[in-house]
Amino acid sequence: MAGKQDEEKHDRELIELLNELRVALPGVQVLFAFLLAVPFSQRFDRLGDFQKDTYFLTLVCTAAASILLIAPSSYHRLRWRQHDKERLLKFSNALSIGGLVFLAAAMTGAVFLITNVLYDRTWASVTAAIVTGAFAVFWYGLPLYSALRER
């Protein structure tokens, strides 16, 4: 009986994980598409070396986020009907957390770059620090604080 309950629990957890990934992936894809188009704009040549380096790092973070957030679907397809959903869930959870870290870095990088182009590096740094703080609090701090309170 416990085996059936575990299997049903794993099925529910997998559905929850895949639904959560469906929320994150469109944002990553839109950001990635935007970043892929940027070098072909007329103003890209006017960026300084620091801005181009920031752009490249942001692009790489976005690619890493895409890789990690899509990996659970690939793993699930390749391991279909292999009866290892618990391993899939643990592996996918770690990949998803890593993907969200890279997504936060990519979004912060994009905000920094755009603010730096529009204003200056000081405003870009302040804005990026605020965005980083918001990610730290809402994406990581609140869930970790809640987990600590439960202990």
Number of domains present in the structure of the chain: 1
C-beta pairs of 51-60 under 8 Å, 24+ apart in sequence: 51/113, 51/116, 51/117, 54/109, 54/112, 54/113, 54/116, 55/109, 55/113, 57/109, 58/105, 58/106, 58/109, 58/110, 58/112, 58/113, 59/32, 59/35
Q: Looking at residues 60-87, what average pLDDT do you find?
A: 85
pLDDT of residue 122: 97
Going by pLDDT thresholds of 50, 70 and 90, the confidence category of residue 26 is confident
Range of 97's domain?
Answer: 2-40+47-150
